[in-house]
Structure formats: structure tokens, C-alpha cells
Amino acid sequence: MILTATGLVSPRPAVAADDPFAPARQRMVTEQLAGPGRDITNARVLAVMGKVPRHEFVPGHLRSQAYQDRPLPIGHGQTISQPYIVAFMTEQLEPKPADRVLEIGTGSGYQAAVLAELTAEVYTIEIIKDLANQAAASLKQLGYTNVHTRTGDGYKGWPEAAPFDAIIVTCAPEKVPQPLIDQLKDGGRMIIPVGSLRNQELVVLRKHDGKLDRWAVLPIHFVPMTGQAQGSGVKTGKHIVIIH
């Protein structure tokens, strides 16, 4: 780990100065996140989006498209989310340097890497074993020492590591799973897509004295949550939302 100019400890070395993807990554930030018609304003989130190498979390043959304004396939019918969606959900979660965060739906590991730059610890669960293993390998190779990975049913959360300051969910149950509510620290925040396949909203929750304040922030379309949320079995599908 290294101490940054802001006084925060970074979980991985700074991006190499000769990174050939750096210009595309900066264009992604200025045009897709903070540009006209977009609304990402959190300076910490923008800085991290400009640092984390998204191209390392996509298949090799798609690296030239890594910083385009859209999701990309990562195998098993899944996608890495559109950069704007990653930034939007991260900003809405209001991550703090001392936070311990639970992520449901690791996918390629990109969202976990973004959170790892902004918080103390990230616990991330992926139900598809091959994706979980690949994400763990990518995160380790990039030097993220504060990310804990697990293969399993995200509906159940990670009870032995609870409570969490924040929870982020990147797959959509029809209602917020009670185990995740139980594992959210009082005063904590959760962002989660909720609803049926054809009618989903991205919802922010805040827990106060055991009760939840809830408000919708964006119509969305995510893959349904699988495992216990659907009774049994694993079904997969693409996260196809594109925000213009």
C-alpha cells in the first residue's frame, strides 16, 4: 500500500504513466460521467473512475472497447456494467474511507475494484463460480489486498462479516432480501435494483433505528437475482441498461 497526496492509503500502486489506455479512460470520465447530460460530481468517485483500469476486467478481445459508453459481455450471459452505472451507483452509495462494504454480484470484479479504492474493505459475492474465480484472480493480480471474494448466493449476504456500513447489489430481486437488511449497520446505506424483469427501479435505502428510509433514483434493467431469490437453480442474463 502507498500513501496518496490526499493522505489516504491506496490499496494498489498508481496506474503506470505509460498506460496506453489512460487517454481513453480520461475521456470516459470527462465525456461519459461529468460531461454534458451526465451528473457525476463526486470528486473522489471521478478520480477513481479515472484510475481503475477497466480494460483489465474485460475479455482480451474486447479491450479496445473497454472505455466505451456501454456494458460489455464477460461470459456466462453476464456483462460488465456501463461506466456511468458504476459511477452513479458508487456516488449514490456515498462510500467513506473507513467503510466496510458488501457487494452482491461480483461479475468481472470492476465494481469491487472501484469500491476498494474508496473504502477500507470490500466483501463481494458471485453466484457463478467461474466468474468469481476470474474476478478474484484479476483483483489479486492488480494488487487489491482489501477485497474479499466468495462464491455463493448473494441473497444470504455474508453474515459472519456483518454488519456493513454500505451494501451494493448489482442484480435485481423482486424485493429487498431481509438478510441484507439485517446485515446493514444502523446508519448504513444500500443501493439495489428492485422489481420484476420488465419493471425495475434503482433504490437507495438508509437504515435508522432499525427502520428503512427508501427512495427510487433511476429506472433500470439488471439481471434478476438468482439462487434463493428465485426459489432454486441459477439463471443468468445480461445487464442491458444503457443510459444516454
* Beta-bridge partners for 102: 123, 167
Residue 131 phi, psi (nearest 5): -65, -40
| β-sheet bridge partners, residue 55 | none
Q: How many CA atoms lie within 13 A of 62 on its CB side?
A: 17
Domains of the chain: 2-230 (3.40.50.150)
126 bridge partner residues: 151
Cβ density class 1-34: b for 16+ within 10 Å, e for less: eeeeeeeeebbbeeeeeeeebeebbeebbeebbb
Tens-digit pLDDT profile for residues 71-86: 999 999 999 999 999 9
pLDDT digits (tens, 9 = 90+) for 4-21: 433 344 555 556 567 999
Q: What is the model's pLDDT at position 228?
A: 82
Residues carrying an active site annotation: 81
Bridge partner list, 79: 73
Give the span between the Cα atoms of 102 and 162, in whole angstroms.
9
Cell numbers at residue 116, please?
476498494
Specify the DSSP class assigned to residue 46: H
| b/e 108-146 (16+ beta carbons within 10 angstroms → b) | bbbbbbbbbbbbbbbbbbbbbeebbebbbebbeebebeb
Residues 6+ positions from 131 with CB-CB distance below 8 Å: 74, 75, 76, 78, 106, 107, 108
Whole-number Å distance between alpha carbons of 137 and 143? 10
Average pLDDT over residues 123-144: 98
* β-pair type (199-208, 184-196): antiparallel
What digits encode the pLDDT tens for the residues 21-72? 999 999 999 999 998 889 999 999 999 999 999 999 999 999 999 999 999 9
